[in-house]
Structure 1
Amino acid sequence: MIYDLECKIIENRFVSGKTYILKVEAPEIAKNTKAGQFVMVKPTLEDYHDPLLRRAFAIADVEGDTITLFYDVYGKGTKFIVRRKEGDYINVLGPLGNNLFPENYDNYIVVGGGIGFAGVSLFLKEIKKQGKKFVAIYGARKKEDLSMIDWINENGIDVLYYTDDGSFGKKGLVTQDLDSIIEQNKDAALIVCGPKPMMKAVSKIAISKNMPCYLSLESRMACGIGICVGCVVKDTTKDTYVRVCYEGPVFEAKEIELS
């Protein structure tokens, strides 16, 4: 079930780089959220309609009645969200997304890039709780863009870090050691969320090894519920298009074309 709620802001603060953390009290959404789902947040107050459209954010964590979102500040919409204060109410629609991460594997390689790590964090938390085996990889251009380090430490998750400039973790791309990690985890499924070039690179490696690989796509969305058809990607198996918000957001790498 999808809920359209006025949610009390518990926390809305700067983390690092261009990333903020937003925590809202949303019991109905929290209770019904599954790893991989997202919400649509209305940037402005009820009587304002510029910008008109909501913004889509992955549900990065759930704690009791509270959902946690991480968001990068880019344009007009996110600049409005930054201004919202603790105790204010903000409109949230969710949980959204129908095709989610597969739960039928005992071993996973989870790769997150930049703000995309928020798309896999709740899944990591859940498989850790279930005692499943996993290797988690988190990459970004520089340390400041690894905005979820504190969350990772708080949840006791072991992560391999990579930065382009070597400012934290290992210098280089998340793909540079992926072949050897896959070799050591041949029974694993790849779970990926992040920038499109990174997902393309990981997908190419996975497909070449005939390895299951699931991509959680990030896309600009107008409605979030499949009506506007504004967030489509090509389904190569059917030579048609599928909606990220409705048929997704998770797709098998071999079944879609990342433009």
Structure 2
Amino acid sequence: MDRLQSMKIFACVVESGGFTAAAEQLGLSQAQVTRHVAALESELGLRLLERTTRRMRLTEIGEAYLERCRRILALVEEADAIGEAHRGEPRGVLRLTAAASFARVHLAPAIAEYMQQYPETAFELILSDRTLNMVDEGIDLAFRITQAVDPGLVARRLAPCRVVVCAAPAYLARRGKPLKPSDLSDHDCLSHSYFARSAWPFRGAGGEQTITVRTRVAGDVDFLHALVRAGAGIAHLPSYLVGDDIRAGALVALLEEDE
């Protein structure tokens, strides 16, 4: 029999004043209640209750055992309450990683709203354009812009990310506008430090191709964004970062048919 259940029934028998009352309170038959108490006594090799036709009382051992049963049952109830609290509402520290530019544009407002909704949560962010090892770094959740997914991780596609080739009007006025991907070899290109540094992929009507570009400056996404706005060259940047600039005319999207 379940030892904890038997302890609970034994305590109920004592507290309710008898087997019949305990059976009614627990929704069990009197025979079931009797079997549970008898099982405890058999396991212990000791009598917990002295029973006659008129009365029932605890033995000396029964009193000591009841006290410990109550402690154990209280601890179990406390442990269950902790589990219930965790199921009911998120709490604790969530360790995330994402590119700094993505976190600034997309995660910051989402995290602010989440913290307001769940005040028992906290966040630790590792902002890096590098693909970090989630296990080694103790990361719970990673937001990545990639087509290469570690088969050992559970991944879910959230949304497509358009990458735009763009430049400032001042740069295009000075150097001219590339009309096809191969024209980029004659331009100053601003490349990401960790991926597509000198090989930019394109997919147009003629199929997929990779163009080797001349990289004048390599850096992180936010630094490249500042450089391309300043007219330093042509960059390959995510639309969430440069979309507003393109709509405002501060940047010009290039080679859109070959993205």
Flag whether TM exceeds 0.5 (same fold).
Answer: no
Structure holding more strand per residue:
1
Q: Which has the higher contact order (CA 8 A, sep 6+)?
A: 1
Structure holding more helix per residue:
2
The TM-score bracket by the shorter chain reads: under 0.3
TM-score w.r.t. the length of structure 1 is: 0.26
Mark the structure with the bigger radius of gyration: 2
